[in-house]
Amino acid sequence: MESLFAEIDAAARPIYESYFLEADQSGTLEERIYNAVECRINCFTDASSLEDSTHVLLWRSEVIRMRYAQNQRFLRKDLDKWLPELNDVSKETREGIDGIPSF
């Protein structure tokens, strides 16, 4: 099963990441916030079944836990690209900001 989970992730990852890699990250702060949230909404909407399955299997698959953690780091780094202003906020504030546009 772990090999199957790894293969599913390998097939889905390029599709998932394309939402973020192709997005326009320019504009005012307000525009960038709006676009970053919209980008996540579009991706999460299209990947909701995969996300639901991930959460169901997270506790019993090392591959899924590892890839889920990678995805969380990817999303955090992506938000840094959209909003470099986040470098100036406290750790607590940053954790809250990361939680707002998450699943």
Residues 68-95 have pLDDT tens digits of 999 889 999 999 999 999 999 999 999 9
Instruction: Say what the pLDDT of residue 48 is.
Output: 87
For the entire predicted model, the pTM comes to 0.81
Residues 30-43 have pLDDT tens digits of 999 999 999 999 99
In this structure, what token pair is assigned to residue 31? 């525009």
Domain hosting 41: range is 2-99
Angstrom distance (rounded) from CA 85 to CA 41: 21
For residue 75, the 8-state DSSP code is: H
Number of domains in the chain: 1
Contact by Cβ (8 Å): 43, 16: yes
Of 58, 5, 2, give the one whose Cα is nearest residue 103.
Answer: 58
Of 36, 47, 48, 49, give the one whose Cα is nearest residue 79.
Answer: 36
